[in-house]
Structure 1
Amino acid sequence: MTAFVLAAGAYTGGWVWEDVAARLRAAGAEAHPAVLTGMGGDAPPAPPGTGLERHVREVVELIDRIEDPDLVLVGHDYGVHPLVGAAGLRPGRVTRLVHVDTGLVQDGAPALALVPDPSVHAVPTGDHGQLPPPGSRADWQRWGSTDGMDDETLGLLVRRAAPQPPATLTEPLRVTAAAAALPVTGVLCTGNGASIAGVQALVELGDPRLQALTDPAVTFFELATGHWPMLSAPDELADALLAAAKGEGHRLTRRPEGEPPPHLRPFLLDPPQRRRERVGRVDLYLPETDTPRPAVVFVHGGPVPAGAEPTPRDWPGFVGHARCVADLGAVGVTLDHRLHDVSAYPRAAEDLAEAVDLVRADPRVDADRVALWFFSGGGLLSARWLAEPPSWLRCVAATYPLLAPLPNWGPADPCFDPVAALSADGKRPPIVLLRVGRERAELAATVAAFLAAADESGTDVEVIDLPDGEHGFETVDHSDDARRAVERTLRAVLDRLED
């Protein structure tokens, strides 16, 4: 019989696991929600200085009281940290760690490092030195998506939330080698912006921090709900935990030695070679003409690890697009911007603006006829250009784009929210959007929201659908339908540059 130890996230206590624990027990397992000092419910109030170390000790004491030798530790959000700390002290008792919709913990890093919203880091403490809990749906959204929770459930969360001892979020976590070696399962919530396909894509980009996730001892499940699945999807979460305890779940694929990752495979079209000039972070692919020509600037997605080689402007997909544009008589432009993590959008936006200025200043470019074409996570960089479009911007294009910040990135910055940009007054350039039918759920939701906002604002959007297409299809799908979709999108963009 498996015994589960369940630790809650910030501002919540053992009570948040009540429905899941009941389902685990009905399946014949033991379930032990951890009661941690200062975490509400039946927990004792937190004396001054209560921090992560105290919660680690309390989890260790709970482990020592459980007779069943087969323990699975399940942590949500902050709750992962005391469990990982305790696992390092009792590794022989733990068969698996389960992370419920939370990021990768790092040795020496505090829990607050996993919260993307910088404003949360500066939340003032209350009268008793505690962090006051969120008081509304909007406030809870700063910590994660409330997708799947009806008003009654959200009301329960608001009523039972408790102040959080600050040191629990700021004390660094010690991850021992024994804890790091334990089998791990991640339960991802697509409503909060995470998916198995998304993690696989990040692994393929070569981020060294994520390569351990391809170990066969690491498994994944995903749930179509928000950040609190124990409240919004307790049945599905309990089923995932029972399966995880058996070592089941999706395993990430590891590429055979010598096989290139998907983004470095050949482009689906084979345009002729064109003269390329490199200026700083920018490459220009030039048509065979002596007169100034329109330009198309291709904006890659991300985040892309800082040390990735080759860099995006040399990826076959972007090189292929730029060569196609040059073959059709315009200047194709690729660039490397520094979107190395989700906090780096301002820096990437500066890189893009500098690249655009450089391109428009080139005498071989018609500075009054430029298109910007965004891919994947680069789609958020389109917001500025849509909100206040310059007269020379004749078209905005997007291929399998992210068009609104994901919920697990914290509150949306209007500067990087294309959906919000469509509410701005003024005339916008026409938009060409290549949509793939097998898109990751978290990205597809942003495209749907963008198209709804475009319809409401009367924005001109041409949607080119590839029903069987997937994210990054241009280097893995060489079908006739895929080729036609890319060719049609290229022509649609260039036609608007000639208008």
Structure 2
Amino acid sequence: MATFVLVHGAFHGSWSWKRVRNALQAAGHEVFTPTLTGLGERSHLNSPNVNLSTHILDVINLIKWEELSNVVLCGHSYGGCVISGAAEQLNSSIRALVYVEGFVLEDGESLMDLFPREQVNQARQQAQTAGDGWKILPFPASVLGTNSADVDWVDAQLTPQPIASFEEPLLFAKRSPEVADILHILATGYESPFPIAAAHERAKKRGWATRTVSCGHEVMLDRPDDLTKLLLEYV
């Protein structure tokens, strides 16, 4: 039996991992799908003070208090930033890292740093005009290349996220997480509004394993069986 911790992306919650979670559990594995503070069913905890450090601690504390070891830690999209920070502090507990359409940050870099200045300015303006000065509204599911059967459901599930979580830089005490097995998965079936392809290239330059899947950004919803098979390679 393997232990998986699956971390969702921005605006999402544990609900987004339901299909993969069920498949892994059916195969006899232990699976945790934490919802990050302020999102999903924890959206009542949303506040301007929630940032990337908060979300990293969400994952660290889950692994610590559940006394998990030999973990396959997987992050989707923004969740890639989260698992990088968690793994750097808990690398002895981590068996493998899997980035699913995940952002890959350098030391001292924030998620906002990866985007063109025009997009960053638009996001900050939106936070001021539509997000009470501190939160970003979700991207429509259609922009994410979500399959048509799930678009309305995903739109109903997404929740706003504090802009602080995108603006806070990731600071490593070491250069990067010291985990032997790392995989980056790129979705190639949609026109991405995000610099995920650049993250995929970073992964290659770091010597990580890389794979592609022909679907939209929501790999765990669009291709849950294929993603489950990729995760099971690390059992």
Name the TM-score, length of structure 2 as normaliser: 0.85
In the alignment of these two chains, the number of paired residues is 224
**Partner letter of residue 180 of structure 1?**
P
C-alpha distance in 2, partners of 1:111/1:104?
9
C-alpha distance in 1, partners of 2:3/2:151?
29
Superposition pairs for residues 339-358 of structure 1, below 5 Å? none
C-alpha distance in 1, partners of 2:102/2:141?
22
Please give the per-residue CA displacement for 1:346-375, whole angstroms capped at 9, x wherever unaligned.
Answer: xxxxxxxxxxxxxxxxxxxxxxxxxxxxxx
C-alpha distance in 1, partners of 2:91/2:175?
6
SS of the equivalent of 1:180 reads: coil
CA apart distance, 1:41: 2.5
CA apart distance, 1:136: 6.0
- The answer to whether the 8 A contact 2:48-2:135 is kept is no
C-alpha distance in 2, partners of 1:114/1:240?
27
CA apart distance, 1:129: 2.6
CA apart distance, 1:105: 1.7
SS of the equivalent of 2:183 reads: strand
Q: Which residue of 1 aligns with 2:91?
A: 91
Superposition pairs for residues 290-329 of structure 1, below 5 Å? none
- The answer to whether the 8 A contact 2:91-2:178 is kept is no
1:57/1:227 CA distance change after superposition, 3 Å = same
Match of 1:169 among 146, 166, 169: 166
In the alignment, structure 1 residue 180 sits paired with structure 2 residue 177: yes
- The answer to whether the 8 A contact 2:141-2:154 is kept is no
Q: Which residue of 1 aligns with 2:213?
A: 223
Q: Which residue of 2 aligns with 1:235?
A: 225
Gaps of 5+ in 2: none
SS of the equivalent of 1:105 reads: coil
Please give the per-residue CA displacement for 1:73-107, whole angstroms capped at 9, x wherever unaligned.
Answer: 10111111121111121111011111111243211
CA apart distance, 1:146: 0.5
In the alignment, structure 1 residue 38 sits paired with structure 2 residue 38: yes
**What fraction of aligned residue pairs are identical, expressed as a percent?**
29
C-alpha distance in 1, partners of 2:34/2:113?
23
Q: Which residue of 1 aligns with 2:155?
A: 158
C-alpha distance in 2, partners of 1:65/1:219?
30
CA apart distance, 1:193: 6.2
Superposition pairs for residues 387-398 of structure 1, below 5 Å? none
**Partner letter of residue 33 of structure 2?**
P
C-alpha distance in 2, partners of 1:117/1:155?
30
C-alpha distance in 2, partners of 1:211/1:135?
32
TM-align CA RMSD: 2.6
Larger radius of gyration: 1
- The answer to whether the 8 A contact 1:112-1:121 is kept is no
- The answer to whether the 8 A contact 1:70-1:94 is kept is yes
CA apart distance, 1:114: 3.3
CA apart distance, 1:236: 1.0
CA apart distance, 1:116: 5.2
CA apart distance, 1:178: 7.1
**Partner letter of residue 175 of structure 1?**
F
